Amino acid sequence: MTSHFAVFGHPIAHSLSPRIHAAYARANDIDLEYRAIDAAPEHFKDQLASFHRDGGAGANVTLPLKLQAYGYCTELSAAAQRAGTVNTLRRSAGGWSGHNTDGAGLIRDLTERHSLDLRDRRTLLLGAGGAARGVLWPLLDSGLRELVICNRTAETADRLADSVGDPARVHTRYWDDLAQQGSFDLIINATSAGHGDGAFSLPFSLIGARATCYDLSYGNAARSFIAWARAANAAQALDGLGMLVEQAAESFEFWHGVRPETEAVYAQLRASFLSDAAD
């Protein structure tokens, strides 16, 4: 019997999730249908209810709906509670169970695919919205020495830092003061800056000698940040394609009880991106 799954977002036509989950399903002999559903925030609740009535068993949720999804859940995983947002839903008799797989996906990509030891790293997290909240706790759990949160709206960064309750390790800084903050070993872009047309611009002094720069977005949305990091001679400049593949695997396991192998899917998608760039 075919299981029905979907990814909700606005916009969503660009999403690679249907392709990724179809590959995972084939590799694990699971019969599923997975589609993308464009849902504006004001229509998301009704569309999610309709999806369930039509047999929907689970869903991924992306921008700008993760906070709304959190509010629709009757049960939340520990990861979702800490993040305060949900990117994965599973239907049960009591309603929607919510989970957040973003942080786990990021850590797997950094530590396993890119062999990065996160312990004792001085880290700069750019942004304090849902994307940042999704990765904050797993980053701290990985053993970072210091985490500096910087957001264009300083009050939002302060609230996020206060929610952690670790002032010895987690600090906030004003965006305009970044040039005076020294260098970092890891810089993570969790802002939506790359989704516009402007170039990403920050002081090159932020990038330490062994720095890894990582954009949670991928494709065109990550290009301006990656270009900035490469221009500043970062040791590694990475986009979030690997995180996408890994968080999808975490969602797949949440639904089906088996964690798929990810490397072949990642390699195929990366090759596709490189081919598109060459055209």
With a cut of 60, say whether residue 9 has pLDDT above it.
Answer: yes
pLDDT, tens only, 167-179: 999 999 999 999 9
pLDDT band at 271 (very low <50, low <70, confident <90, very high): very high
Any known ligand binding at 216?
A: yes
With a cut of 80, say whether residue 180 has pLDDT above it.
Answer: yes
pLDDT of residue 19: 96
With a cut of 70, say whether residue 31 has pLDDT above it.
Answer: yes
Per cent of the chain over pLDDT 70 is 96
* Adjacent-strand bridge partners of 123: 147, 186
Residues of the chain with CATH 3.40.50.720: 116-239
Q: Which fold has domain 116-239?
A: Rossmann fold (3.40.50)
pLDDT of residue 277: 53
| Predicted structure pTM score | 0.94
pLDDT, tens only, 83-96: 999 999 999 989 99
With a cut of 60, say whether residue 21 has pLDDT above it.
Answer: yes
Per cent of the chain over pLDDT 90 is 90
Any known ligand binding at 102?
A: yes
Structure tokens at 77: 């995983």
| Mean pLDDT in residue range 116-139 | 95
| Mean pLDDT in residue range 174-203 | 86
pLDDT band at 200 (very low <50, low <70, confident <90, very high): confident
Any known ligand binding at 165?
A: no
3-state secondary structure 59-116: EEECCCCHHHHHHCEEEECHHHHHHCCCCEEEEECCEEEEECCHHHHHHHHHHHHCCC
Any known ligand binding at 129?
A: yes
Any known ligand binding at 95?
A: no
pLDDT, tens only, 213-246: 999 999 888 999 999 999 999 999 999 999 999 9
pLDDT band at 278 (very low <50, low <70, confident <90, very high): very low
Half-sphere exposure of 275 (CA within 13 A, CB side): 6
Residues of the chain with CATH 3.40.50.10860: 3-100+244-278
Q: If you count them, how many residues does the chain have? A: 279
Any known ligand binding at 56?
A: no
With a cut of 50, say whether residue 279 has pLDDT above it.
Answer: no
Element (H, E) at 58: strand 56-61
The catalytic residue positions are 66
CATH code for the domain defined by 3-100+244-278: 3.40.50.10860
With a cut of 60, say whether residue 153 has pLDDT above it.
Answer: yes
227 or 201: whose pLDDT is higher?
Answer: 227
Any known ligand binding at 62?
A: yes
Gap between the Cα atoms of 20 and 250, Å rounded? 12
Any known ligand binding at 3?
A: no
Mean predicted lDDT score pLDDT of the chain: 94
Structure tokens at 193: 């800056």
